[in-house]
Amino acid sequence: MAHLLVTGGAGFIGSNFVHHVVAHTDHTVTVLDKLTYAGNEASLAGLPEDRVDLVVGDIADAELVDGLFEKADAVVHYAAESHNDNSLHDPRPFLDTNIIGTYTLLEAARRHDTRLHHISTDEVYGDLELDDPARFTEHTPYNPSSPYSSTKAGSDLLVRAWVRSFGVRATISNCSNNYGPYQHVEKFIPRQITNVLRGIRPKLYGKGENVRDWIHADDHSSAVLTILDKGEIGETYLIGADGEKDNKTVVELILQLMGHSPDAYDHVTDRAGHDLRYAIDSTKLRTELGWSPTYRDFEAGLAATIDWYRANEAWWAPAKDGVEAFYASKGQ
């Protein structure tokens, strides 16, 4: 049994990880989360109080972080400003949390010699052409496009430097796009599902040709536990589940699964600098550490996600109007 400190554990993927840890291990967890607009205490509801506690605070608060590292056997770092569209609107919080926040955790890991796993994204690699058969590997050069992905790239490089220069015991993973329960309604899949539930037509950026490589958040969690357990210090692992789909296909599938005509959506202005295609080659994680995904059928995973949003309107409704007002102001 170990005690984990999980930063950003009240966000989408972090809360899925905490649920996964409680269900599949006997570890205890302290969540450190600032509860920004993206964090939600309700995402941790129902978890046993003797195994999970929440500390509300900032990962850039060195004193607070220091005290929490003292009690942790390992730290899993999810906390981030994570939404591309917000980063185009106001980049500053992305620098504060993704860069300075990660630096603060690395310094604490160095002082306490604590094992740290840093969660990152495939967006650090930029994008691929739609007709390019290539996929990202651990050797693909970094080429981020947005303030969000560039600050994530910067945080990855800080982790590498702290491993090399100060012997910090850290690993990194870069994962493709996640879907599943507890994802904020500002993001593509929950936004379209909750639009349909509200009787609003789904919105598709541009022609909807952009391709994302979808993975269920629970598979991301099992991959992270595998890396914590068996990963080699200083190594980077790409996490993906061979789930490439273009956005148009995803919107049509959501409409179909929810009993509507697949063309009952509107096209809206594309996102500035919108990356064309992401695709992950996760061979290293699968062959060296023996991980494989559980959710292999995207349609079944999506149907389960739709069911979750249908059953949990009280969780998502408070944020919905604000998100739609934000997009409406941008004609999206």
For ligand NAD, the binding residues (CB under 6 A) are 7-8, 10-14, 32-36, 38-39, 58-60, 78-82, 97, 101, 119-121, 152, 175, 177-178, 184
- Backbone phi, psi, residue 205, to 5°: -65, 130
- Pick left, alpha or beta for residue 117 (phi over 0 → left; psi -120 to 50 → alpha; otherwise beta): beta
Instruction: Give 60 or 285: the residue with its C-beta nearer to ligand NAD.
Output: 60
Beta strands in the chain (DSSP E): 3-7, 28-33, 52-56, 74-77, 115-121, 170-175, 178-179, 203-205, 211-213, 215-216, 236-239, 244-246, 266-268
User: Greatest CA span in the chain, whole angstroms?
Assistant: 58
Distance CA 202, CA 252 (A): 9
Residues with active-site annotation:
122-123, 148
Cβ atoms of 238 and 317 closer than 8 Å: no
In the bound state with ligand NAD, the residue whose beta carbon lies nearer, of 7 and 195, is: 7
Tell me the residue number closest to ligand NAD, measured at CB.
11
Question: Minimum Å distance from CB 184 to ligand NAD?
Answer: 5
Provide the 3-class DSSP secondary structure of residue 109: helix
Comparing CB distances to ligand NAD, the nearer of 119 and 204 is 119
CB of 282 to ligand NAD, least distance (A): 13
For 321, residues 6+ apart whose C-beta sits below 8 A from its C-beta are: none
Least distance CB 261 / ligand NAD (angstroms): 28
Q: Which two tokens stand for residue 9?
A: 């554990």
When the beta carbons of 121 and 221 are compared against ligand NAD, the nearer one is: 121
State in angstroms the smallest separation of the CB of 264 from ligand NAD.
26
Output the smallest distance, CB 220 to ligand NAD, in A.
Answer: 7
Provide the 3-class DSSP secondary structure of residue 177. Answer: coil
d(CA 149, CA 143): 9
Nearer to ligand NAD by C-beta: 64 or 264?
Answer: 64
For residues 215 and 114, give the distance between their C-alpha atoms in angstroms, rounded to a whole number. Answer: 29
Report the DSSP pairing between strands 215-216 and 266-268: unpaired
Identify the helix (H) or strand (E) that includes residue 19.
Answer: helix 12-24
> Residue 13 CB, nearest distance to ligand NAD (Å)?
4
> Is the Cβ of residue 5 or residue 163 nearer to ligand NAD in the bound state?
5
